[in-house]
Amino acid sequence: MNASRPATIASDAPDALVEIVRIPLADEAATLRLGGDLALALTAGDVVALIGDLGAGKSTLARAAIRTLADNPELEVPSPTYTLVQPYETVPPAAHLDLYRLSGDDELDELGFEEMARDGIVFVEWPQNAPSALAAATVTVTLDNTPGGGRTAHVSADAEATPRILRSLAIRRFLAEAGCAEQPRCRFRGDASSRRYETVDRDGLTLVVMDAPRQPDGPPIRDGLPYSRVAHLAEDVAPFVAVANALSAEGFAAPRIHRADLDAGLLLIEHLGSQTLLDADGRPVPERYEAAAEALAALHGTRWDSAMPVADGVCHTVPPYDRRAMRMEVDLLPDWYLPHARRRSASPDETARFAQIWNGLFDALDDAETSLVLRDFHSPNIIWRPAEEGLARIGLIDFQDALIGPAAYDLASLAQDARVDVSAELEARLTAHYVSLRARDAGFDASGFERAYAIMAAQRGSKILGIFVRLLERDGKPQYLRHIPRIKAYLARTLDHPSLTALRDLYQDWGVLDEAPTQRPL
């Protein structure tokens, strides 16, 4: 796809929208691709004004965009010429309007345009016939017929939508370089991070696009450093490439990297499958969890070099899961969870007590076994591959934030799965199975591992309580609050360990272990 970027304003576009790209469309297939590519850049609140003569391709572009939002290439998308508006239950919701027969804004109000534009994505054909619709546009696409055949799409956008659209078009160029110039793109599940995922087919094989541009540093919060630096979170895609290659070299099922643009933060990787450790009803399948514990035992029984190659002349050094990182993570509980759940902050004495307890627990980890820690080893990030054997049955997909730290952390992530209820019986079964396998490794200390497991499970639970509240209050993502009662139950179970008595007393004083609901009206 060739694209220039002139500084002019497209004709018919609102003055606040600047033309950001012109795209030649040789045929209908090119128009369909553009519709899909634009859809992947849109979000709730976007109004896309489609401008052009009869037969210019406005409906074709809208139809492709709506099918992409619906994740259904066969979805029936009729023209709203006579109904004026056609809604779709996509995520976010979409609406397709044809205002050809309107003569002003009065009828636009009756259609519920303002509400649709606030809560979802709206595609508007003939927006010139209702000035309010054109004025509300965050994106315009003007389609002009090109002498000799084909069309040219003039895409204009406001300042907020511009980088999203340019990013989507950059992904199309990246895919073209990978041999997927004409392949449709589909949305793929994401996570709580800033990363986005898509799927695309190449030669009959489904591949995954990881869209992870380098993130700007946040404000300094400790020792002059932002949270991401202290917690050793990946800031680009290089760690993913490095750890994926290292895992694959040792026989673990990590995605193969088909193409990488490290500077742009784009990867085209193997799709390991769609099955998880859960059954059709979302319940843990014990045998699958046990296989995952076996993979962890093998992982922790492997000797890892912290220096992992990325590309020629590029190496990633896996950072340590050090005391500063662990301490800042547990601080998320008094910083975020406590004010949300109890509507108060910790007193200076309570803060000092909290710090003293955790410093003692971190001291107890000084002689704990360390290994490569994948960090988010739980059901959303583990692929079940029943057609494979041995280690290949367990697909690993989320490890860009991997550290060298206490091996017990990943087992706690699995056996106290934050997204699904793992019974105390299954947790005991998993830990016993893991320990029995690790007992074959020279120097493995079962008693020391048990203590480290309790400490790291408590550390992870404390961190997650804070993270889930932060996702609500800072990022506007309330859906994670539903997991909080489960995390509290895990913490209550873990804090029975003798090494955690002081922490249990403090958390009881704070009401962290109470069964009362943690969600309050927002």
- 138 within some domain: yes
Is 176 in the same domain as 280? no
Residue 518: its pLDDT value, please?
39
Q: How far is CA 218 from CA 66, 191, 515, in A?
A: 35, 19, 34
Residue 191 lies in a domain: no
Q: What is the pLDDT of residues 137-172, one digit of tens each?
A: 999 999 999 888 889 999 999 999 999 999 999 999
Answer yes or no: is 38 within a domain: yes
> Are residues 133 and 282 located together in one domain of the fold?
no
pLDDT at 1: 41
Q: Which amino acid would we find at residue 515?
A: E
Residue 522: per-residue pLDDT: 25
pLDDT tens-digit series, residues 430-461 = 999 999 999 999 999 999 999 999 999 999 99
Q: Which two tokens stand for residue 317?
A: 């050094």
Q: Is residue 486 over pLDDT 90?
A: yes
pLDDT of residue 235: 86
Rounded distance between C-alpha atoms, residue 162 and residue 317, angstroms? 35
Give the domain-ending residue among 182, 209, 243.
Answer: 182
The predicted model scores a pTM of 0.88
- Predicted pLDDT at 193: 61
- The answer to the question of residue 457 being in a domain is yes
Q: Is residue 322 one of the residues assigned to a domain?
A: yes
Q: Based on the domain organization, do 286 and 154 belong to the same domain? A: no
Evaluate whether residue 89 is within a structural domain.
yes
Q: Are residues 349 and 463 in the same domain?
A: yes
Structural domain harbouring 505 = 273-510
Would you give the DSSP letter of residue 347?
P
Task: Based on the fold, state whether residues 296 and 426 are members of the same structural domain.
Answer: yes
Q: Read off the CATH number of the domain in which 178 is found.
A: 3.40.50.300
Residue 194, domain member (yes or no):
no
Same domain, 135 and 31: yes
Q: Taking 90 as the threshold, does the pLDDT of residue 425 lie above it?
A: yes
5 domain residue, yes or no: no
Nearest to 210 by CA among 167, 166, 161, 246: 167
Could you report the per-residue pLDDT of 180-237, keeping only the tens digit for each? 999 999 998 755 567 899 999 999 999 999 999 987 777 887 878 888 888 888 889 9
| End position of a domain, from candidates 166, 182, 198 | 182
pLDDT value at residue 232: 83
User: Same domain, yes or no, for 170 and 296?
Assistant: no
Q: pLDDT band for position 514 (50/70/90)?
A: confident
Tell me: do 279 and 147 sit in the same domain.
no
Handedness of CA 290, 292, 298, 302 (dihedral sign): negative
> Mean pLDDT throughout 86-99?
96
Residues 285 and 145 grouped into a single domain: no
472: domain CATH number? Answer: 3.90.1200.10
Quick check: bond before 216 cis, omega within 30?
Answer: no
Please identify, among 115, 150, 182, the residue that sits at the C-terminal boundary of a domain: 182
Residues 490 and 363 grouped into a single domain: yes
Domain tally, the chain: 2
307 and 172, same structural domain? no
Q: Would the CA dihedral through 232, 233, 236, 241 be positive or negative?
A: positive
Q: What is the DSSP letter of 76?
A: -
User: What's the rounded Cα separation, in Å, for the pair 421 and 191?
Assistant: 19
Instruction: Examine the domain organization and report whether 161 and 301 are in the same domain.
Output: no
Task: Please determine, for residue 420, whether its predicted confidence score (pLDDT) is greater than 70.
Answer: yes
User: What are the residues facing 87 on neighbouring strands?
Assistant: 95
**What is residue 12's predicted lDDT score, i.e. its pLDDT?**
60
Q: Are 405 and 365 in contact (CB under 8 A)?
A: no
Q: Residues 344-397: pLDDT tens digits?
A: 999 999 999 999 999 999 999 999 999 999 999 999 999 999 999 999 999 999
